[in-house]
């Protein structure tokens, strides 16, 4: 990137003209009373009257609309800037209540008066996200399945019915289309710099929010309906996301210096980076994350356009094309089907971190939740901001033009080591590894279960006193066919007992903690993992069923409250447990072995894969039947042994056939 011409804007000429120039072309003052009457009611007719439509009835004329709305935005901005804070609150507080985040909009005036473009842009990002979520709540008063994208939400018939079409057309001029001002997207995707967003558009968005609240209040009063606010998204299992050490003041101070020197930062975007550091210092963790996410996208786009030699993709696209966003930056191939060079440039650990935090369906998907207003900003966790900041600082360091911080850089070593050794936590493969380990831990608890003495009791059961007695040799044969002894360093003669030892659990931990490459997995790999996750889930259910049933029956045994049939059933459970434990352990071992060779699945022929899929579905059917048989309601231990005997036979036959082919 060292030879590239410094960028001064990421807005294409058309978009730059739309955002920075068109709204200033029409001169002339507008009386604020024509926009906001003495009772602080928004005069929609005046504002909507400036929205221009194409003569061909093909929609809105966005450019002309922005041009005509310019003087009105000026008037609104001048008026708000003249208001004392107390009067602003008195006039508009009630009309912000519908957003379920009144404080955010009340704080807008202080932000506008700061005259700080960085803070105004950040506040605009938060307001657009909040508006989207709030409009979704309103949509759901008469509609179902709220649209995921803001542009689809603004174009919905439901919101047109509630607020009327001219009002929705006006909102689309500010937020709803790549052809419009598109304020939300150009900020959230990191295209607009602080100095490129006219503050008057932030002021107008505040007024439009007031007006929407007034319209909604009238409608609710007339219809007797209410808006039910959806619950905000809450991050679960934060400990699973914590990998980077805490970012302290020493790191923050160095990061501020790196921002000025690193090629990872565009000079006209540096203010956003500095504000992110400031926000972290002040405990404004949502602000820190919002700024970092938008700037990570900008800077990764810079890498994308550099390594793939497509500098034009650094700018906002025109309306006929797609923006270059995270989706393309992280993809395996470019639009022309050639390989994307970003993964090789960043390395697998960095790619896995980005996928984990942004893309994986079962991951935190931080950017999605923040940008769509689904998170209560005041409750945003420090841990996630710390992860994003730690990762960002490492990228700042890696893209220094030259290392001029030799003496100071040692404070970054823990962050650099963490980033370099990161492995996915939320890819389906990683989640399967976690599930297998969790189930293995559950099976270990069987050894701790208390049991009454059974010697004289089991004699009356005959053959049922030792069910599955042939399982051991069969399973040892299967493990030998898998050549597992080569992986776990034991002799083949010990395989029959290995499943019941603590060495099995140690081996499972080692196999489940092994790093498995997961970028751009083949569809068959993901399908296989999906089935195995279902198998693992059912195996865990089997284990939990047996643990809970055993504990319950033992208490009843001690208290002598077991009926005769329950007593016999409990005896069968105790006699079956060793065999059932071995079979479930075998299946978990099979899953671990499959994971070890997971990418070889993509090398199979379609016919081979279909046979393999059929085999996996046998395992799934067995595990589902077992979870039913072992449930507290069923307690079918004889049937469980029969099912286990059959699945062992199927497993051995499949592996033998697989080995011979």
Q: Write the pLDDT tens digit of every residue in 130-180.
A: 999 999 999 999 999 999 989 999 999 999 999 999 999 999 999 978 899
Dist CA 276 CA 365 (whole Å): 19
Residue 395 has pLDDT above 60, yes or no: yes
Name the percent of the chain lying above pLDDT 90. 79
Q: Which of 57-66, 90-99, 265-274, 439-448 has the lowest mean pLDDT?
A: 57-66
Nearest to 365 by CA among 236, 189, 511: 236
Average pLDDT, integer, range 10-36:
95
Residue closest to 199 by CA, chosen among 20, 460, 465? 20
Whether the per-residue pLDDT at 323 is higher than 70: the answer is: yes
Q: Which of 59, 45, 34, 213 is nearest to 138 (CA)?
A: 213
pLDDT tens digits, one per residue of 449-458:
998 876 555 5
Quote the pLDDT of residue 463. 46
- Look at residue 43 in the predicted model and tell me its pLDDT: 97
Rounded distance between C-alpha atoms, residue 200 and residue 30, angstroms: 14
Q: Is the pLDDT of residue 307 over 50?
A: yes
Residues 412 and 418: their CA atoms lie apart, in Å, by: 10
Rounded-to-integer distance, Cα 442 and Cα 548, Å = 11
> Residues 6 or more apart from 531 whose CB is under 8 A from it?
613, 616, 617, 619, 620
Check pLDDT > 80 for residue 318: no
Share of the chain above pLDDT 70, in %: 93
Interhelix angle 117-139/285-307, rounded to 10 degrees, is 100
pLDDT number for residue 462: 44
d(CA 86, CA 110): 11
Least confident of 105-119, 454-468, 476-490, 618-632: 454-468
Average pLDDT over residues 248-266: 95
pLDDT for the residue numbered 403: 64
Rounded-to-integer distance, Cα 660 and Cα 472, Å: 23
Residue 500 has pLDDT above 90, yes or no: no
Q: Per the structure block, which two tokens stand in for 255?
A: 């990061």
- Angstrom distance (rounded) from CA 44 to CA 375: 31
Residue 321 confidence (pLDDT)? 64
pLDDT at 2: 44
Residue spans of alpha helices (H) in 176-261: 183-188, 199-223, 238-241, 249-261
Of the ranges 2-6, 153-157, 469-473, which is most confident?
153-157
Q: What is the mean pLDDT of residues 534-561?
A: 95
pLDDT band for position 459 (cuts 50, 70, 90): very low
Measuring CA to CA, how many Å separate 268 from each of 190, 282, 388, 394? 11, 23, 21, 21
Tokens encoding 116: 């700080």
pLDDT score for 150: 92
Inter-CA distances, 207 with 28, 96, 353, Å: 20, 10, 40
Task: Flag the least confident range among 136-140, 484-488, 639-643.
Answer: 484-488
CA 325/CA 328 separation, integer angstroms:
6
Question: Domain segments of the chain: what residues?
Answer: 13-223, 238-420, 428-660
pLDDT at 5 over 60: no
Q: What is the pLDDT of residue 501?
A: 87
Average pLDDT over residues 100-120: 97
Distance, CA of 242 to CA of 388 (rounded, Å): 10
Query: What pLDDT is attached to residue 3?
Result: 44
List % helix, strand, coil for the chain (3-state, nearest 5). 70, 0, 30
* Cα distance between residue 445 and residue 211, in whole Å: 61
Tell me the two tokens of residue 267.
């000079």
Residue 555 CB neighbours (<10 A): 12
pLDDT for 466: 55
pLDDT of residue 6: 62
| Mean of pLDDT values over 305-312 | 91
Checking if the pLDDT of 567 tops 80, the result is yes
Dist. CA 121–CA 192, nearest whole Å: 9
The pLDDT tens digits of the residues spanning 211-237 come to 999 999 999 999 999 999 999 999 988
């Amino acid at each position: 990137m060292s030879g590239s011409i410094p960028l001064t804007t990421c807005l294409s000429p058309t978009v730059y003209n739309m955002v920075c120039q068109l709204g200033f072309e029409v001169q002339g003052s507008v009386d604020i009373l024509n926009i906001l009457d003495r009772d602080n009611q928004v005069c929609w007719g005046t504002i909507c009257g400036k929205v221009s439509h194409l003569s061909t009835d093909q929609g809105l004329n966005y450019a002309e609309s922005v041009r005509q709305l310019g003087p009105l935005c000026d008037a609104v901005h001048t008026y708000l800037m003249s208001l004392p804070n107390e009067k602003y609150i008195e006039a508009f507080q009630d009309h912000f209540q519908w957003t379920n985040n009144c404080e955010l909009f009340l704080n807008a005036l202080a932000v506008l008066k700061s005259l700080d473009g960085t803070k105004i842009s950040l506040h605009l990002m938060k307001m657009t996200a909040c508006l989207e979520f709030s409009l979704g709540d309103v949509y759901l008063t008469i509609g179902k399945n709220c649209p995921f994208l803001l542009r689809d939400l603004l174009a919905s018939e439901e919101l047109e019915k509630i607020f009327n079409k001219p009002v929705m057309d006006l909102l689309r001029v500010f937020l709803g289309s790549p052809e419009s001002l598109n304020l939300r997207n150009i900020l959230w995707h990191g295209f607009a710099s602080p100095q490129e967003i006219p503050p008057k558009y932030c002021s107008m968005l505040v007024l439009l929010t007031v007006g929407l609240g007034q319209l909604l209040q009238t409608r609710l009063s007339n219809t007797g309906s209410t808006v039910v606010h959806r619950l905000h998204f809450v991050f679960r299992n934060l400990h699973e996301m914590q990998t980077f050490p805490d970012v302290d003041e020493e790191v923050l101070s160095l990061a501020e210096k790196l921002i000025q020197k690193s090629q990872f930062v565009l000079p006209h975007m540096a203010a956003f980076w500095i504000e992110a550091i400031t926000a972290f210092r002040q405990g404004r963790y949502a602000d820190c994350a919002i700024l970092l996410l938008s700037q990570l996208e900008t800077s990764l786009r810079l890498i994308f356009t550099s390594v793939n030699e497509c500098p034009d993709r650094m700018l906002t696209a025109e309306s006929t094309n797609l923006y270059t966003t995270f989706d393309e930056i992280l993809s395996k191939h470019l639009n022309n089907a050639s390989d994307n060079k970003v993964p090789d440039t960043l390395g697998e650990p960095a790619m896995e971190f980005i996928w984990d935090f942004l893309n994986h369906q079962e991951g935190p998907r931080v950017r999605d939740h923040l940008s769509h207003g689904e998170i209560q900003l005041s409750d945003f966790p420090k841990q996630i901001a710390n992860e994003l900041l730690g990762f960002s600082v490492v990228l700042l360091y890696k893209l220094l033009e030259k290392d001029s911080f030799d003496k100071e850089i040692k404070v970054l070593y823990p962050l650099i080591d963490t980033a370099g050794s990161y492995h996915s936590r939320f890819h389906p493969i990683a989640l399967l590894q976690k599930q297998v380990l969790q189930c293995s831990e559950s099976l270990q608890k069987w050894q701790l279960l208390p049991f009454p003495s059974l010697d004289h009791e089991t004699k009356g059961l005959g053959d049922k006193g030792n069910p599955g007695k042939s399982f051991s040799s069969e399973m040892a044969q299967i493990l030998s066919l898998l050549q597992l002894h080569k992986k776990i360093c034991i002799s083949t003669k010990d395989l029959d007992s290995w499943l019941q030892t603590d060495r099995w659990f140690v081996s499972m931990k080692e196999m489940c903690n092994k790093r498995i490459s997961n970028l751009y997995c083949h569809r068959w790999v993901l399908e296989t993992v999906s089935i195995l996750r279902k198998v693992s889930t059912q195996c865990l259910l089997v284990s939990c069923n047996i643990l809970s049933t055993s504990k319950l029956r033992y208490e009843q045994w001690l208290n002598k409250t077991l009926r005769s049939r329950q007593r016999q059933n409990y005896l069968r459970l105790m006699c079956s447990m060793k065999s059932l434990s071995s079979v479930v352990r075998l299946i978990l071992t099979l899953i671990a072995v499959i994971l070890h060779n997971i990418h070889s699945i993509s090398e199979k022929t379609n016919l081979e894969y279909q046979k393999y899929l059929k085999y996996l579905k046998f395992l799934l059917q067995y595990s589902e039947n077992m979870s039913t048989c072992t449930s507290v309601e069923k307690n079918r231990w004889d049937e469980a042994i029969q099912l286990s005997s059959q699945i062992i036979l199927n497993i051995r036959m499949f592996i033998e056939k697989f080995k011979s082919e």
